Structure 1
Amino acid sequence: MENRNNSNIHLLKEIAELLNEETELKQMLSCALQVLLNGSDFTTGWIFFIDESGGHSLEAYHNLPTSLADEGCGLLRNGGCWCVNRFRAGKLTKASNIIECQRIEKSIAENRGDTGNIVYHATVPLQSGNESFGLLNVAAPGKTHFHEHELALLESVAFQIGSAIKRIILTKKEQEVALMQERNRLARDLHDSVNQLLFSLTLTARGGTMLSEEQDIKETFSTIQSLAQEALSEMRALIWQLKPHGLENGFSEAVKGYAGMLGMDVIVKVEGVVALPSKIEEALWRIGQEAINNAKKHSGEDIIYFHLKTFPKMVTLYIEDKGCGFHYNPAQKIPSLGIQGMRERVMQLGGNFHLQSEPDDGTKISVEIPY
């Protein structure tokens, strides 16, 4: 008994040290799970996150049997099971024995391959205070029952992981707030300094054009005025990118306002209830912003069409201009940093990005992002 307690204390200390060092959520979950399995009699484990709507996602796993690991862990990622259903119903509040694993049962029934002699697993909710994030499941070959000391260990580990999840989430939010504050500060500084200087230069050049009598001097001042006005427009667009006025009123108003500032007209169609997470909404805004910039510079048209549609777990954005288009081969590296940036934003959120364009046939962009 004393040896087991000492071993558990050492394991909990090792996990605590790991959790204090990690700052990335997925990396933290994966490493903590691996340390737990290496330091205990459990051999297999996986972690589910469960959102407010009841949907679950596989966030970490280690040493899965073939039947669960095949097809990209399809059995774990898809469908329901008793532990997830009990969590959704609020009936899973502590470490528990699960009589049988519904997913393993399905793999046996469908002859999906080796199950590692695992039929039963233990499950424990990942919590921090009143917040619940998901489930930690562990198993071992031939094990049909988990003892009280094993469940107690799981609860201690789950408490540590839940606290670390909360810390990382709060840290990310603080970083996002700090980034937004820095953007706002930079936008104010640009508006109060460079923007005002460019405006003054525009007025000075206009005055020089009106006061000068020699044609060459008039043309020089006119050129200066034109360049200053163009730079002023670019600066206002940059300020908008740093601090998008109108996004607080929704995506549709933001893109209309930005396009109007550039002399473009946006026709927006919205379907579904648009109540998106802030990171999704900002990503769509940045993508729309870049599409408007590209259309303004290259399409030769002053109208661009947006179609935003939401589904229960997916949002799609379709953007089209009917301008001159360009030669685009998806198999080749994208030359435009703007287009590359749009694709990277979508990919970072686990979505899909498609661009289609041909000379004299306009440009079409479609985005799908899960949430």
Structure 2
Amino acid sequence: MNSESLSNIGLLKEIAELLNNETELDSMLSGALKKLIRGSSFTTGWIFFIEKEGSHELVSYENLPGSLSDRQCEPMKKGGCWCVNRFRKGKLTKASNIIECQRIEQAIEENREDTDDITHHATVPLQSGDESFGLLNVAAPNKTHFTTDELALLESVAFQIGSAIKRILLTKKEQEVALIGERNRLARDLHDSVNQLLFSLTLTARGGAEMTGDEEVKDTFKTIQGMAQEALSEMRALIWQLRPHGLENGVVEAAKGYAEMLGLTLETKVEGVISLSSKIEEVLWRVSQEALNNCKKHSGEKHILYTLKSELQSIDLKIEDRGYGFHYDGKQSLPSVGIQSMKERVKNIGGTLTIDSQLGRGTVISVRLPY
């Protein structure tokens, strides 16, 4: 066994150890790519995730030349190329050699940053069983041909990464299922204990007010009844948030049901054919909850406009009331924890949230999520 083979075995062992210890997708991909580039003859590498509908996302890269990292890696995020197109068509099943990089060719034509003498790259799909996740690409200066050993190393690393991606995705799915189960259990417990106690307190206070002739005592019972009724409404809203009825029929139906429970009327409008992933639906649902809660507490308006629209590459949600409104300056600190929470949820999946509100003219919350 030659020294190069021994070196490759050692590198594969290092990468395997890293992959086994990682639980987060981003750090796993970044760490594996770093070790591959630093431990081999390749000098740069990048990983694309490719969705079933064909769109690709640059999820990790290492030591990209300036021509490809220009403008926050914009040349890598837009447009098509040979390897991505072949992957979409199901014709890229193993490590492939001598692929001219259309992205670098375009950078040269446009006289952008330095290419580090890279013109070609090798590519290999990231797979686990029958599932394909994307591509691992590597390159080196002045290299137009990759040896059999280099391609074998690339395939071995891609196999390891593909298996790790599958493991992490399955683990996250299990965590999501466990979280839903815990939410359902907590919702049941709250409904069977605290909710019932509050309901009993409401009835008791009402009975006490009817039984006494003392006006002060009667007023006290009515105050208790009002507070208990308000707490009961808050508890029902909390239970709904933990276990939303109607979400199985889509976020719009869930929002309508939640609005009805709050005593609001939701005028809904859906534009385009909308099929949402669970991740997008969860964000839209939580944003809808918080926005409707704010409408109930602060707007003074019961009629809410709710529009969900499918664009070519985005899902747009607009929640509008014509209530009191408030003075909102996006440059200043956010006026409530709820708005901060909405912004963070949307930002975490690459979306944007804007608020347009004026005193006496109502509030419009607009969300745009990548689709």
Task: State the Cα distance separating 1:99 from its structure 2 match.
Answer: 3.1
**1:223, distance to aligned residue in structure 2 (A):** 0.8
After the TM superposition, which residues 74-113 of structure 1 pair with which residues of structure 2 at under 5 Å, given as runs? 74-113=74-113
Q: In the aligned structure 1, how far is the partner of 2:106 from the partner of 2:329?
A: 43
Runs of 4+ in 1 over 6 A off after TM superposition: none
Deviation, 1:240, is 0.4
**1:285: which partner in 2?**
285
| 1:123 alignment counterpart | 123
Paired amino acid for 1:89: K
Are residues 1:211 and 2:211 paired? yes
Determine the C-alpha separation between the residues in 2 that align with 1:250 and 1:203.
35
- Alignment-derived partner of residue 347 in structure 2: 347
DSSP-derived class of the 1:23 partner: coil
Q: Contact 2:320/2:364 (CA < 8 Å) preserved in 1?
A: yes
Instruction: State the match for 1:320 in structure 2.
Output: 320
Range with greater deviation from structure 2 (201-210 or 305-314): 305-314
**Paired position in structure 2 for 1:57:** 57
Cross-structure match for 1:260: 260
Q: Quote the Cα distance in structure 2 between the aligned partners of 1:282 and 1:186.
A: 18
Query: In 2, Cα distance between the equivalents of 1:98 and 1:181?
Result: 50
Q: Distance in 2 between matches of 1:43 and 1:279?
A: 35
Once residues 144 and 4 of structure 2 are traced to their aligned partners in structure 1, the CA distance between those partners, rounded to angstroms, is 20
Judge which range, 1-10 or 216-225, deviates more: 1-10
- For residues 178-224 of structure 1, give each alpha carbon's deviation from its aligned partner in whole angstroms, at most 9, with x where no partner exists: 11100000000000000000001111111111111111111111111
Cross-structure match for 1:244: 244
Q: Which amino acid aligns with 1:200?
A: S
Length, aligned pairs only: 371
Task: Tell me how far 1:311 sits from its aligned partner.
Answer: 2.2
Work out whether residues 351 and 370 of structure 1, in 8 Å CA contact, stay in contact via their aligned partners in 2. Answer: yes
Give the 3-state SS of the residue equivalent to 2:94 in structure 1: coil
Q: CA RMSD in A?
A: 0.8
Structure 2: distance between partners of 1:65 and 1:51: 26
SS, match of residue 100 in structure 2: coil
SS at match of 1:99: strand
Distance 1:54 1:279 in 2: 19
What is aligned with 2:143?
Answer: 143
- The C-alpha deviation readout for 1:158-194, integer Å capped at 9, x for no partner, is 0000000000100111111111100000000000000
Query: Which 5+ residue runs of structure 2 have no aligned equivalent?
Result: none
Measured in 1, the distance between the counterparts of 2:17 and 2:343 equals 37
| The 10-residue stretch of structure 1 (230-239 or 208-217) with the greater mean CA deviation from structure 2 | 208-217
SS at match of 1:113: coil
CA distance in 1, matches of 2:182, 2:147: 52
| 1:75 counterpart letter in structure 2 | P
Query: What residue identity is the alignment partner of 1:175?
Result: Q
Worse-matched range after superposition: 326-335 or 154-163 = 326-335
Secondary structure, counterpart of 2:84 in structure 1: helix
Is the contact between residue 98 and residue 123 of structure 1 (CA under 8 Å) also seen in structure 2? Answer: no
Q: Does the Cα contact within 8 Å between 2:346 and 2:353 map onto a contact in 1? A: yes
Q: Map 1:6-17 to 2 at 5 A.
A: 6-17=6-17
Unpaired runs of at least 5, structure 1: none
Give, in whole Å, the separation in 2 of the partners of 1:122 and 1:250.
43
Which residue matches 1:332? 332
CA shift, 1:358, in A, is 1.0
3-state SS of the aligned residue for 2:23? coil
Aligned partner letter, 2:168:
I
Query: Contact 1:83–1:98 (CA<8 Å) still a contact in 2?
Result: no
Question: C-alpha distance in 2, partners of 1:251/1:262?
Answer: 16
Q: Partner residue of 2:273?
A: 273
The CA deviation string for residues 302-330 of structure 1, in whole angstroms up to 9 with x for no partner, is 11111100124310001110001111111
| Separation of aligned partners in 2, 1:289 and 1:213 | 43
Letter in 2 for 1:240: W
1:189 counterpart residue number: 189
One-letter amino acid of the structure 1 residue matched with residue 67 of structure 2? S
Residues 98 and 144 in structure 2, CA contact (< 8 A), matched pair in contact too: no
Aligned to 2:356: 356
Secondary structure at the aligned position of 1:173 is classed as helix
How much identity, in percent, do the aligned residues show? 68
